[in-house]
Amino acid sequence: MIIASNFKTNHTRISTKEFLEKIPQTPLQIRIFPPFTTFDNYNLPKNTLLGAQNFYPVENGAFTGEIGKEQLDEFGLNCVLIGHSERRNVLNEAESLIIEKFNFAKKCGWEIIYCVGEPINIREEGEAAVNEYLKKQLEKIDLNYEKLIIAYEPVWAIGTGLSATLEQIKATHSEIKKLSRAPLLYGGSVNVDTILNIVNLNECDGVLIGSASWKIEPFLKMIEIVNNNEKGVI
């Protein structure tokens, strides 16, 4: 079971260090995506990895403001987030760059959490439209890549406090599982009250959490809930 936390543009070097020091040793696979400025050589429990929220698909070069492989290598980082809806929609990252990033990360052998999700107007059109939309988002990447993890994150549920219903997650996960055997996460306003029912869905292999994971106490609580759950380790 995978529990990933996306800090987005939150936390400092000091608060990240304090946060990471409290992560317990568990059989769960924990992934933390803090801001670049907080990277360091932390002594993390087994199964806990730091990842990069973003990178530019180059070794190094003239790409002002960007971080390449050379910079991630310095911290031994080999786990990346690609296709997050805030990068797609707020930072206007083009689909072509997202695919380029996927191919680069695959060539590097990095673990990739690849985010897909429909906007509200597509959800309102119904399940068939959602499935078609997600299929298009997934069709240009190698769905057999062995270090691929797919995160289903409906755009309308991210940072809004609105979660997809269990039925919606279940139905959408089933469709994605027809396309890929990669571990499958759900993300979109997951919190201490909702995490258990979500991870207990048949085809759910974990969660990607934003706002509810920024404070250590609820994050530890969510780890405890999943760890004590009988679905256990995948």
Query: Quick one: 158 or 184, whose CB is closer to ligand PEP?
Result: 158
State the minimum distance, in angstroms, from the CB of residue 191 to ligand PEP.
8
Report the 3 state secondary structure along the chain: CEEEEECCCCCCHHHHHHHHHCCCCCCCEEEEECCHHHCCCCCCCCCEEECECCCCCCCCCCCCCCCCHHHHHCCCCCEEEECCHHHHHHCCCCHHHHHHHHHHHHHHCCEEEEEECCCHHHHHHCHHHHHHHHHHHHCCCCCCCCCEEEEECCHHHCCCCCCCCHHHHHHHHHHHHHHCCCCEEEECCCCCCCHHHHHCCCCCCEEEECHHHCCHHHHHHHHHHHHCCCCCCC
State the minimum distance, in angstroms, from the CB of residue 70 to ligand PEP.
27
> Which residue among 11, 111, 153, 173 is the active-site one?
153
Query: Quick one: 26 or 189, whose CB is closer to ligand PEP?
Result: 189
Nearest-CB residue for ligand PEP: 210
Query: Quick one: 57 or 188, whose CB is closer to ligand PEP?
Result: 188
> Can 153 be counted among the known catalytic residues?
yes
> Can 84 be counted among the known catalytic residues?
yes
Query: Quick one: 80 or 158, whose CB is closer to ligand PEP?
Result: 158
> Which residue among 84, 86, 118, 173 is the active-site one?
84
Site residues, ligand PEP (CB under 6 A):
6, 153, 158-159, 187-190, 208-212
State the minimum distance, in angstroms, from the CB of residue 93 to ligand PEP.
15
Active site residues: 84, 153
